[in-house]
Homo-oligomer: A and B are copies of this chain.
Amino acid sequence: MPSDPSKADLPDAARGEEALIAEFWAPLSIGFDGAFDLKDDCALLAPPPGTELVVTTDAVIAGVHFFPDEDPGAVAWKALAVNVSDLIAKGAAPFAYLMSIALPQMPDHAWLEKFTSGLRAAQERFGCRLAGGDTDRTPGPLSVSITAFGTVPAGSMVRRATARPGDLVYVSGSIGDAALGLALRRDPAMRERLGLDDADCRMLAGKFSRPQPPVALAQDVRACASAAMDISDGLIKDFERLCRTAGAGGRIEVPRVPLSDAARAVLAAGGTSLADLVTGGEDYQVLATIPPEHCAEFERRAEQSGTRVTRIGVITAREDGIVATDADGGAIAFDKTGWDHFRAAV
């Protein structure tokens, strides 16, 4: 405690956590009043009257969710994107997040600049600001645990359990690109072996390292969907979860699953299988069930908001089971239905 009052307001580089907060984290909170410049114990969230708060938390850990040598900006982007993905699937508009970060050592200035640039780009893309957090040292790997907040008009959060037989099943974007991006990262020789071009490889790698959840779709999901969730652990596994939670059966017609041109090229070159693409995980797209009478409106709205949506199946009665079918309508058996973060690693 300095007894010299002239020192009381000097920033002190030796303070570690506090200097980090003031220089790197606090600028990310500008414009969010309830963050109090990250100088208080807590943040204050005052959702507008008539709204409710939707909250989620997901962590990304080096060596589990991203490669230890990943670009720090991509780590930050992904940490926020995987949380925003959950909010979008619930029809919620993201507005704030908390970040609990565990650092193996005090990072250097260049690392911090890259990390915060990635975080800033993500929060601008997704429409939310840093409201608070916690910075710790860890003897383990870098870990970034984010809690994200969105709002919905009261009573309008889109649940997972509310799918009904007869509802049609849609996905946003394309499926399997991130799994291919991961495969390319693990096996760079794949590129030459399959004759993939630069642009395709960059796109696939980007889908794994900087996922782009379809933020503009949130309002369309809220307007039209009977149920929704995000696809993080593989389309098949997550579809199975949605059906089970709803106490329903369901069918996905695998040939209808939307693929990017790059994924089609890899598939054509024999570098992957449809099964790998629909069970690969890390898509961060929306899986939604739409009652038949709202399908036209959902498609129209999605087109207006610039988000690709594709009908891939239907919710059925529980006794019909949960199945994925091939072009002939036959059931496909999978060795694994998806990714288990608890068991797998990058």
- Which A positions have Cβ atoms within 8 angstroms of B? 1-5, 8-9, 15-17, 20, 36, 39-47, 49, 52-59, 61, 63-65, 86-87, 89-90, 92, 98-100, 102-103, 106, 131-141, 143, 145, 147, 150, 154, 157, 159-161, 229-230, 236-237, 239-240, 243-245, 249, 318-324, 331-334, 337, 340-343, 345
Beyond the given pairs A42-B54, A46-B53, 9 more chain A to chain B contacts, judged by CB atoms under 8 angstroms and listed by A's residue number, are A3-B321, A4-B321, A5-B321, A17-B341, A53-B53, A102-B143, A135-B342, A138-B140, A139-B141
Name the contact of A90 in the complex, choosing from B41, B58, B236, B245 (C-beta under 8 A).
B41
B135, B139, B239, B322: the one within 8 Å of A63 (CB)? B139
Q: 12 A–B contact pairs at CB < 8 A?
A: A2-B321, A5-B318, A40-B161, A56-B132, A57-B98, A57-B100, A57-B132, A61-B102, A64-B136, A100-B100, A134-B145, A138-B141
**Which B residues are in CB contact (< 8 Å) with A2?**
321-322
Select one of B57, B64, B334, B342 contacting A1, CB under 8 A.
B334
Which 10 residue pairs spanning A and B have beta carbons closest together? A140-B140, A5-B321, A16-B342, A45-B53, A41-B86, A17-B342, A147-B147, A42-B56, A145-B145, A100-B145
Contact B318 A17 (CB under 8 A): no
Give Cα A65 to B89, complex, Å. 35
Say yes or no: A87 contacts B140, CB within 8 Å. no
Please state if B140 and A249 are interface contacts (CB–CB under 8 Å): no
Given contacts A52-B46, A53-B53, are A39 and B1 in contact (CB under 8 A)? no
A70 CA to B254 CA, complexed, in Å:
49
